[in-house]
Structure formats: structure tokens, C-alpha cells
Amino acid sequence: MQQTYTYPEFAYTQSPEQQAGEVKRHPVVIIGAGPIGLTQALDCAARGLACVVLDDNNTVSIGSRAVCYAKRPLEIWDRLGVGQGFADRGIQWKVGKVFFHNELAYQFDLLPESDHKLPAMINLQQYYLEEKLVEMCDASPLVDLRWKHKLLSLDQTSNTGDDVATLTVETPDGVFKLQADWVIAADGANSDTRRLTGADFTGHFFQDRFLIADVVMKADFPTERWFWFDPPFHRNQSVLLHKQCDNVWRIDFQLGWDCDPAEEKKPEKVIPRIQAMLGPDAQFELEWVSVYQFACRRIDNFRHGRVIFMGDAAHQVSPFGARGANTGVQDCDNLTWKLKAVIDGDAPLALLDTYHEERAYAADDNLLNSTRSTDFITPKSRTSLRLRNAVLELARTEPFARPLVNSGRLSTPTPYVTSSLNTPDTSAFEGTMTPGTNCADAPVQVNGQAAWLLNQLGDGFVLLSFGPGAQPVSVGNITARVLEVGKDIQDTQGVLTQRYDGQPGTVYLIRPDQHVAARWRNFDAAQATAALRRALAMA
């Protein structure tokens, strides 16, 4: 057995503006120092935006909480300098198995193809992730991380007619005010910012409750996601098992809607459940126990004046499919380049409104998938239960039934296929890299050294050209540089060409968040410039 995690405490310090009694105006203030707020701060810093982060606590999240992090968020964190470290620290996996009673009904592979830098999924306790993000924020001169700062009120009216938000904040040294050009609310499902803004947050609450038990033990289970429907050790309910770092295992037990949460968290209730699952002689220690009830809902608009919402403050999903934190990280990825362009005066405010357009579309997709998973896991009628069990029985032998098994459709990015920033195709393409889709990674060589495509794309506009002919195009201060295959990067394995259907002359316009904005079979400067204007919401 291993000693459980020791939670750090971060020091509160009084800011110079509070000491001086002045009301200082900041370009960006972020509310909430969880994984999403901290990621947002790092992305702001990476794009040259100074930001202040306010959090009413002074430590990382208690318990492992979110543990599953998917490939796309890892790629975003890799752009910010921490993705590979998370992948190395976490438990990497891609195989999931679904059991009905105690027999294997179905298994899946999240990343059946090779040649990707980062894994399909890792399991990493949220406190490890947050601790590293805090360390990175502390090291950045553009991030001012302030602990024990609680938001009391938020006012978007101004006597001067200026667009500004005034925040009243409580600290151990009293109450003071600060101002922000933009406020980013990343303060979770019970967001004070959302309440103070008066934003609607609508959707569906599910009655079912689930027990989370983080268990320290040494076990020989493989590094896979195991999900049981109606197992003999927990009849008529479901159970989920995941491995985390440091011999910590996450076990989720479905409890039903009529349980007593306070009673179910007691060790004398939890330990027998685990013993029934692992055997009476199993040696383990409880690290963290919680009972949760979940919802599927989202905010009416991701922007309310000068306040922008993200993560659980903007949308909530059930935990099946690991769509919470993973979706929130993609919110950051979508927002920051747009906010930077608007603040710098390089794009109209309409570009910022496409944050809602694209991320609300993704949120609705996640809510749909999450609701379907919940309905399969927790049938609401006898007929639904019979249908669910029939699917599980058939999945053992009949391939047609296996796609119907739904223990949580695991998080994948939602392509912005309907986005107003896309330029539609005018030629035929094979593959999945349609406008609005995040770029697939591929192995390349740079100066004779092994490298990866996403690391070469960087965080600005890029014209990815398969062969010579493309030239940089500009709209005002925004320039799309050229990354030429065969010159700047070498596709020695052919994977890049295959994934992008990169026939000679093909050109892709890639956005700063590494999503495809447009593509053509031949470069045309006027078309590329028009597509760049459209990607900046100027068309």
C-alpha cells in the first residue's frame, strides 16, 4: 500500500492594487482555478494575454474527481507545454470491456490506428493535473494567480459608457473591487458568476445516484476500462473500474435513486461492496469516497456581455464518457485565439460570438451522447430494461448488436461542421479532415529529426501545402504562414498524405486552434484570403 496524496496549500497574498486601494482594470479576469480555469490562464499567456485568476479556495480539488483525459485535450495541453508530461504521468489505455453479469459482452479500441504522438486516453487523478497546472501558471509572468479571492458581485454597467465589468471580491484582508475588459467564468457547475449574471442554465437532472470509491490496492487487473451490467456482486446495478496512478483504482457503483447519500459514504457500507467485488481477502484502503447525482444541461448563451462561460459553468454532462473536463479544455482552445484577435482589434466582435456558436453545438452533441448513455445504463422502464439486456446478450455473438452497447460513448471532439467560419469544399476529398474538424496528428521529419505535425502547426493561422506553390496571405495584422510538405516538413511514412488526402498541390487553411477552416486542390491567393477573412468572421 502507498501513502495517500498530501494536498498542498497555496499562499494567499494581498495584491498591490488592494494594498493601494485602487481599482485596477485588467484585460482578462478568470473566475475559478480548477483544470479549466488554469488551462484558460495558460492559453491566454501562450497567446500574450495577461490575466488574473481568482479562486475562493487555496488547494487543488479534493479526491481524484475527473480522471479520464482524452487525446484531443492532451494535444491542447501539449501545445501549452504539459501534454506529454501528463501522458507520461498518467495510466495510458485504449481498450474497454463491457460485461453482462460476469461474462464479456463487448470490447472496443479507442485508437485502433497507430502513428499518433499522444494516447487515446489517460487516467490521472485531478489533483496531480491541477498541481502541475498551478506550477505552470506560477512560472508565467502573464498569469496572476490569486487564492482566497471570492467573487461577491459583478456589475457590467458603467457610468462612463465604457464596456467594462466591475468585480467585488472578498479576501482575508477585506473586500475590494477590480475591473476587467473580459471575465471568463470557469467556476464549475454551481457557478457564482452564472448566478450573478442571471444566465439561464436548463436541462435534465437524473435521479440515479452513484458511489465513487478511490481505492489504494495492488491488483492484477489489466490497464483497461471495465464496465459491468448487473454483475453478481452488485445485482441489478452497474459498476465501473479504472486504474489510476500510485495503485489507486476508481470504482463506481450505481446505487439507484432512493439511496441515502450520507449513509452510503460510510466505510461500513462501502467496504462490503468492494469486498463483494474483489473477494473477502482483498487488501485495500479507501482514499476518497463520494456520492454523486448528475445532470445534463447547458447555459442559454456562452457569452453574456463581457462575461464568457466555459467548462461546467457552461454545460454539465453525466460522467459516462468522460465528457466534462475534456469538453472544458476544448472550450479554452476555441475561445482564446478569438479573444486575442478581438482584444488586439484584428477581428470584429462577431468572431467572439462564434465561440457560442461552435461550443454550444459541441455541448449539445455531448449532452445528446451523455443522455443516451445514461438511458442505456439506467433504464427507466421494464421495456427499456428488457431491450437493454437483449442487446447485451446479443452482443456476445452478433456483431450488429455491439454498436448498440452504450456504457458511455467516450469523449471525442465534435467537428464544427456547421460553423459560419468554415469555407465549404469545392472539390472532392477522401478522409475525415473536413472544414470544422480538428487536425489529425501524423509523424513527420524536420531537419532530419522525427517530429509531429501538430507541434509544427503551432498556434497561428497556417497554410498546410502539399508541395510548392502556396504563398502567405494576410488580413490586416493576421497572416497565415505556409508550412510546406516536402520542404518545411517531410512525410517520410506517408501517413500525413493519407490522412489529409494530400494530392500534389492540395492546400489546407488551419485555424489557430488547429481546426481546418478551408481546403483546396490548388492554391489561389484570392480564395485563401477570402477564407482567412471568413475564419475571422469578417465575411
Are the CB atoms for 182 and 29 separated by under 8 Å?
yes
What is residue 371's predicted lDDT score, i.e. its pLDDT? 76
16-90+122-201+298-346 against 443-535: fold identical: no
What is residue 1's predicted lDDT score, i.e. its pLDDT? 41
Is the CATH code 3.40.190.80 the one for domain 443-535?
no
What is residue 117's predicted lDDT score, i.e. its pLDDT? 96
The sign one gets for the Cα dihedral 172, 173, 175, 179 is negative
Residue 408's Cβ-count burial label (10 Å; 0-12, 13-18, 19+) is buried
Is the CATH code 1.10.3980.10 the one for domain 16-90+122-201+298-346?
no
Distance between CA atoms of 213 and 215, rounded to whole angstroms? 6
Residue 180 amino acid letter: A
C-alpha grid cell, residue 449: 529529426
C-alpha grid cell, residue 525: 491567393
Are the CB atoms for 350 and 535 separated by under 8 Å?
no
Residue ranges of the alpha helices (H) in 31-82? 35-46, 71-79
Q: Which residues of the chain have pLDDT under 70?
A: 1-3, 64, 158-162, 319-323, 408-411
What is residue 403's predicted lDDT score, i.e. its pLDDT? 81
Contacts of 261 (CB under 8 A, 6+ apart): 209, 291, 293
Domain boundaries, the chain: 16-90+122-201+298-346, 443-535
What is residue 367's predicted lDDT score, i.e. its pLDDT? 84
pLDDT in tens, 265-282: 999 999 999 999 998 888
The sign one gets for the Cα dihedral 86, 90, 96, 99 is negative
What is residue 106's predicted lDDT score, i.e. its pLDDT? 87
What is residue 113's predicted lDDT score, i.e. its pLDDT? 80
Distance between CA atoms of 492 and 102, rounded to whole angstroms? 47
pLDDT in tens, 150-160: 999 999 986 65
Full-prediction pTM beyond 0.85?
A: yes
pLDDT in tens, 403-458: 888 776 666 889 999 999 999 999 999 999 999 999 999 999 999 999 999 999 99
